[in-house]
Structure 1
Amino acid sequence: MKLSETHIVQKLEKPIRFQEYGVGVFNTIPTKSGIKKAIKKEHIFINGVLATTSKYISGGEKIELFESENSSTFERLELKLDVLFEDDYLAIIYKPAGILVSGNKFVTIANGLTQNLKKSNLVDAVKPQPIHRLDYPTSGVLLIGKTSSSITELGKLFKNKEIQKTYFAVVIGKICKGGIINLNVDNKNAYTEFEVLNFVISKRFEFLNLVKLQPKTGRKHQLRKHLTAIGNPILGDKEYFIEDTILNGKGLYLHASSLEFVHPFMKEKISVTKELPKKFTKIFPEV
C-alpha cells in the first residue's frame, strides 16, 4: 500500500471514538460510512497500529490513510478557499463568483471545505456544512458550521433574523437615494433596506449606482428580484433584467460583503467583512 494522507490530532476536549472523529479528516473520505469502510479494509493506521471502530483518541495521535497500489485513483477536488474566520465551532469563508455552494456538481464549496478548514476538536464534530446559500454568480462571505450543535444554533440565528447580512451591488438606471423595498417574493413577505453610496454616468445604461443592501428576510433571489421590480436591475444579471440591459461576460455585480452576529457559544460579537471584487472598484475606484 502507499501512503495517501496524514493527519495529526490536536488536543481534544475529551476522548472520542475514532469513527466519530474521523469524519472530515481526509479529503477522500468525507463521511462516517466511508471511515468505517476504510477501517474494515485496513487502510487506516493510528500511531502505526491498524485502526478499529472502537479505538478512542485524545490528542497527539498520528493518523495515516493508505491506498492499495492497484486501487483506482480518486478524483480529488483542488479548490483553495480564503478562510476569513475559524474556530472549533464555525468558520466564515469567501465564496468566489461562479461556484455552487452545494449540489450534485463535483466542484462546490461544500465539497472543498474539508481540505480548507481545520478539523474541529469538539465531540460533536461533523463534516463542515454551509449554513446558508449564495447564488452561483454571487461572491461573498459564507457561514459554515463545524459541529452538529453549531449547525443547529447558527440555523436558529438565521431563522430568528439575528445575523446581519450586508451586500453591495451595482445597479442600472436612475434610482432614489435609499429606502425600503417591501414587495412579496414567491407570495411571501420580503423586505430589503438599500442606500445609494455613489453613481457614475453611463453611455449605455444612463446611470450605474453602487448600492448597499441589507435584506431583512431571506427569500430566494430576493435582492435580484426586488431591484428589478423597482426598475433597477443588478448589472450583469441574466435572469432578472429589463430589456436591453443585459451585460455579457462580466458576471453578476452582487457581493455579500459582511456578516455580523453573536457567537452562539463564545457569546462574543463576530464581524467579518470581505472587500469588494476588482470589477466593482474598476467602476467605483474611490470605494
Structure 2
Amino acid sequence: MPLSNIEIVHQDAALLVINKPTLLLSVPGRAEDNRDCLVTRLQDNGYPEARIVHRLDWETSGLIVLARDADSHRELSRQFHDRETEKAYTALCWGQPTTDSGRIELPLRYDPPNKPRHIVDHELGKHALTFWRVVERCGDWCRVELTPITGRSHQLRVHMLAIGHPLLGDRLYAHEQALAAHERLCLHASLLCLTHPQSGERMRFESPAPF
C-alpha cells in the first residue's frame, strides 16, 4: 500500500515522526488479511528499517514515533517505559463535566469475554492514571485534552466512559447517542515530546485534531 495519506512530520537518521490516519493499524494484526499497517507501509515504501516504538489504536489518529536503528529503538523504548516522554490527546466526549479538569485513577484490564474491550477492575486491573481538561464546551459534547500518565490499552476511552463521558464515535464504548454524534472515533494524539536518541535534544511535535 502507498504512503498517500500518511504525513511524515519529521525524519532524520534516527527516527520518524508520523501523523497516523484513523482506520490504520500501527502494527500487523494476527490474521493474514490484517498485514496492512503503518509500519509495513513505511517498510515497503523507502523505510525498510522502520521499527515501532509505541502504538496507537486502529481508530486513533495522530503522532507516533518510529526508530530507524536498533540503538535508537532501544533508547526511545526506554524513554516510553520510564515515562520520560510527554503525550497529550485531543478528544470529543459526550456530555458536560461539572468541573473544568480532573484526574481519573482507575485500574484496567482486558475483558476476554468481550474482546477487544477493556474494563475497570479494582481487584485484577493494572494501575492507570489520566488527567483531563475541558478546552471547549458545545451543546451535548465538549472538547477535552487528555494526558495519560500510564499507557494501558484503551486507557483514555475506558477512563472517560467510567466518569460518564464516552468519546464520540467510539464503536466499542460509546452509547447510542455518543456513537451517532460523529462518524469516527474522536481521539487524536496531538502532542508528543521526546529526547532525540542520538543528539540528546528535547523535541516537541504538535498536530491539530482533524475534528
TM-score greater than 0.5 by the shorter chain: yes
Identity %: 33
How many angstroms apart in 2 are the aligned matches of 1:245 and 1:132? 28
Per the normalisation by structure 2, the TM-score is 0.85
Find the aligned partners of 2:162 and 2:186 in 1 and give their Cα distance.
Answer: 17
Q: Distance in 1 between matches of 2:53 and 2:177?
A: 36
From 117, 132, 149, the equivalent of 1:194 is 132
Letter in 1 for 2:9: L
User: CA 1:79/1:106 → structure 2, altered by over 3 Å: closer, same or farther?
Assistant: farther
Q: Map Cα deviations across residues 37-74 of structure 1 (whole Å, 9 max, x no partner).
A: xxxxxxxxxxxxxxxxxxxxxxxxxxxxxxxxxxxxxx
TM-score, structure 1 as length reference: 0.63
Structure 1 gaps, min length 5: 1-76, 120-125, 202-206, 281-287
Per the alignment, residue 78 of structure 1 pairs with 2
- Please list the CA deviations of residues 172-200 of structure 1 after superposition, one character each: whole Å capped at 9, or x if unmatched: 01212101111111101100011001111
Q: CA deviation at 1:263?
A: 1.3
Letter in 1 for 2:71: S
- Determine the structure 2 residue equivalent to 1:235: 168
Report the equivalent of 2:27: 102
- Residue 112 of structure 2 corresponds to none
Distance 1:249 1:194 in 2: 21
- Conserved? CA contact 1:165–1:256, under 8 Å: yes
Following superposition, the deviation at residue 245 of structure 1 comes to: 3.1
CA–CA separation in structure 1 for the residues paired with 2:7 and 2:207: 10
**Aligned positions, number:** 190
Specify every segment of 5 or more residues in structure 2 that has no aligned partner in the other structure, as ranges.
110-124
> Cα–Cα, structure 1 residues 229 and 127, in superposed 2: closer, same or farther, change >3 Å?
same
Q: Counterparts of 1:254-273 in structure 2 under 5 Å? A: 254-273=187-206
Aligned match of 1:184: 107
Taking the aligned partners of 1:235 and 1:91, their CA distance within structure 2 comes to: 30
Amino acid in structure 2 at the alignment position of 1:153: E
Larger Rg, first or second structure (1 or 2): 1
